[in-house]
Amino acid sequence: MFEALSDRFDGIFKRLRGRGKLTPADVDEVAREIRLALLEADVNVRVVKQVIARIKERAVGADVAQSLNPGQQVIKIVHEELVTALGGTAGRLHTASKPPTVIVLAGLQGSGKTTVAAKLARLLEHDQGKRVLLVGADLQRPAAVDQLRVLGERVGVPVFSEPTDPVSVARTAVAEAERTGRTTVIVDTAGRLQIDDALMTELAAVTDAVTPDDVLLVVDAMTGQEAVAVAESFAGTVPLSGVVLTKLDGDARGGAALSVKEVTGVPILFAGVGEKLEDLEVFHPDRMASRILGMGDVLTLIEKAEAAFDADEAAKAQERLLEGRFTLEDFLDQMRQMRKMGPLSSIVGMLPGVPKEMRNAEIDDGELSRVEAIICSMTPAERRDPAVINGSRRSRIAAGSGTTTAQVNALLKQFKMVQQMMRSLTKPGKKGKRGRRMQLPPGMTPDQLGAMPGMPGLPPVR
Amino acid sequence: MKLRGRLKRSRAPFAGMRARMRARRLDDEVWDELEETLLLADTGLDTATTLVDAVKARAVAEGVDDGDAVPELLEREITAALEATHADRALDLEAGRPNVWLLVGVNGSGKTTTAAKLATQALADGHSVLLAAADTFRAAAADQLEAWGDRLGVEVIRGQEGGDPGAVAFDAVQAAGARGIDLVLVDTAGRLHTKVNLMAELEKVRRVVERTPDVLREVLLVLDATTGQNGLAQAREFTDAIGVTGVVLTKLDGSAKGGVVMAIERTLGVPVKLVGVGESADDLVAFDPDEFAAALVGRDGDDGAT
């Protein structure tokens, strides 16, 4: 629903293209768009100001690198700033010198503490070989402890709780862990509002009682401006050491991550990315930065394209294309170049503006192998001029590539369509509906799309 | 005035603004500050810009030229914007026949707690109530509702964990018909609006309820007031999938905000019907634009209240 930052930039940078340096006026204009994008992503207003100030400082007078146009250059600066702000390198959990290591989870109601407790227990127990004890210290919400018990059973981790009070539950649990040889204790606390003084005091009492090695704030990725107040209040009450960002499997931009990081200074350690108990990942600042900017992994894509892409080859191909001499040989070359960038499904995932049905669809990389086999079974003459392919040639190609004549026909038909489509794309001023649907990376023109390795003839999405 | 009293904390950004606006000339800086304050209330940039422009225009029209008057102008504009939709905010509950209300929303928005509060209020109004635990996914979700049912003396219809939520809803509607129950509150599993299959499941629950003609009276989207701009996406997707009839804005007591509901009303025409401003059942109150605006902006004597 939100326009990707890269699309916003598109118009501005069309005018800037060809200039060597960015003037303060250019940067101001760009800064306005960045501000919009960050606000739409729910980054706190005040945090936005700080980030923009830093970006401006870097962008004014920045050399526009030869390989990048000004748009890409600024996006790169913005992206780098955000990655730094989100905590450049990944943080990690602390381990007590004398076990058990104690981790306390805190946060607002409904942020996902109980689910995170179970997911974290699974991660530590199964992937890191820890012996975990889950502790249900949420005695407020009806059946919260039951929920933890069920989840504990599912991940194969024991759960401790008793109907006393949170402080004594936590204290007894640590003793219980020592007794039963559990090396890590994860305490799930009740959700509380940051303005509820009584409950915040109670939380402080819990952390005082068990001196945790880590106190993690669990934050819903959909949180708005309030994230700052929440983070400030929790950080002021308990010794926060990390953040877990939940519900990232939705479509929220997750600007709250930036706000929380700026306010607390503690690293974001994990991200909840799905309903299943395995769906807890180590947090990646660079991916989060791209998400906040709403640009898919365009940067990764640009990098991959630059790495995989032979500029001379592409130029030649484009030239032939413009002259209407685009052959199956060029088609094969481009397809191979694209495959160097990685599996198709991951590339589609990186493109901004791809509809979510397509993003979630299964893309069959096998289809590409089939296409490659068919073309390789043709003679050079056939590749250059598919018109010569008659019935008996079709049968031979099908036999040679282990496919059917119907599949050979389908490819030839598809290639013909691609040829037509490419001709219309390369005609200036005729962008058509297609151009709007697939939003191009910043500063990229449809011509460049034509030269992009292998873009034509994507296999059918199923 | 309950809402305003409970929203005291929410006014922090506006209270600060009120103090800073005092005896200032209306220049661009003032308008920027106003916009920023609105953004802090999660209104989103579109709504903020629209409101600032409206306040500006009204200031010119009324010959206002100093900052003192700005908060009041803003309050009037917020009220006007919310009333412009002419939304029907009443909940549809007719005695003497089964009324089914479906509670939907993303994970952790407060559906189960809202169901319990609605049950409490309906009982107090003399209605008979049935709770349906159609959240068969989250571990112990039905237990949570059952704990409420026990406290309130209300029967809870539940199914197998991992079972079909449609079946639970169906059983509940049948039971209500047989026993002459007034209100059936169907608590569904939290789901992110981006999950296509889970939204389809919800559609099915709706269809199952609608097999009994004319019983589905409300589809309430439960929205956490701390939610930012994603709230609009949630409202849009749930409305597209199952036709939301109203929004319940929860946890507004802790939040500076809820501003996203203005965008929801404006762009989707879905009215906010209830707001949750505290833990107890009476803390779920009818939404009133005038009070919401007053609560958001604050009045004299609220200066610097934090």
Cα A296–Cα A301–Cα A307 angle in degrees, nearest 5: 165
pLDDT at A411: 87
Amino acid at A371: V
Find chain A residues with C-beta within 8 A of B45's C-beta: 36, 39-40
pLDDT at A70: 66
State mean pLDDT over B5-31.
70
pLDDT at A432: 40
- In contact, A220 and A227? CB cutoff 8 Å: no
Task: State which residue of chain A sits closest to B189, comparing Cα positions.
Answer: A275
Give chain A's radius of gyration (CA, Å). Answer: 27
* Among B residues 229-258, those touching chain A with beta carbons less than 8 Å apart: 229-234, 236, 251, 253-257
Task: State which residue of chain A sits closest to B222, comparing Cα positions.
Answer: A110
A455 against B302, higher pLDDT = B302
pLDDT at residue A101 above 60?
yes
* Among B residues 212-231, those touching chain A with beta carbons less than 8 Å apart: 224, 226-231
pLDDT at A272: 94
State mean pLDDT over A175-195.
94
Alpha carbon distance, N-terminus to C-terminus of chain B? 19
Q: Does B137 touch chain A (CB under 8 A)?
A: yes
CA within 13 Å, CB half, A111: 31
pLDDT at residue A31 above 50?
yes
Mutation test of the interface with chain B: which of A140, A217, A275, A358, choosing the one with the most B Cβ atoms within 10 A? A275
| B36 token code pair | 């920023």
Region of poorest pLDDT, from A85-99, B175-189, B194-208: A85-99
State mean pLDDT over A203-225.
96
3-state helix, strand, coil in chain A (%, to 5): 55, 10, 35
Give A61's pLDDT tier (boundaries 50, 70, 90): low
pLDDT at residue A275 above 50?
yes
| Residues B76-102: tens digit of each pLDDT | 999 999 998 777 899 999 988 999 999
Angle between helices A197-210 and A166-180 (to 10 degrees): 20
Task: State which residue of chain B sits closest to A153, comparing Cα positions.
Answer: B139
pTM: 0.76
pLDDT at residue A6 above 70?
no
| Average pLDDT taken over every residue of chain A | 80
Region of poorest pLDDT, from A268-272, A276-280, A418-422, B203-207: A418-422
pLDDT at residue A300 above 60?
no
Find chain B residues with C-beta within 8 A of A224's C-beta: 42, 226-229, 231, 257, 259-260
| A146·B140 Cβ contact <8 A | yes
- How would you classify residue A355: left for phi > 0, otherwise alpha for psi between -120 and 50, otherwise beta? beta
| Residues A320-330: tens digit of each pLDDT | 666 666 788 87
Question: Tell me, what's the ipTM?
Answer: 0.87
| Residues B120-159: tens digit of each pLDDT | 999 999 999 999 999 999 889 999 999 999 999 999 999 9
Q: What percent of chain A has pLDDT over 70?
A: 71
Q: Which residues of A39-76 are buried (b: 16+ CB within 10 A; e: fewer)?
A: bbbbbbbbbbeebbebbbeebbebebeeebbbbbbbbb
- Cβ–Cβ contacts within 10 Å for residue A314, how many? 20
| Residues B44-75: tens digit of each pLDDT | 999 999 999 999 999 999 998 888 888 889 99
| A225·B36 Cβ contact <8 A | no
pLDDT at A342: 62
A159: Cβ–Cβ under 8 A, 6 or more apart, which residues?
A: A133, A134, A135, A136, A145, A148, A149, A152, A153
| Residues B230-258: tens digit of each pLDDT | 999 999 999 999 999 999 999 988 655 78
What is the spatial distance between Cα A42 and Cα B44, in angstroms, rounded to a whole number?
Answer: 8
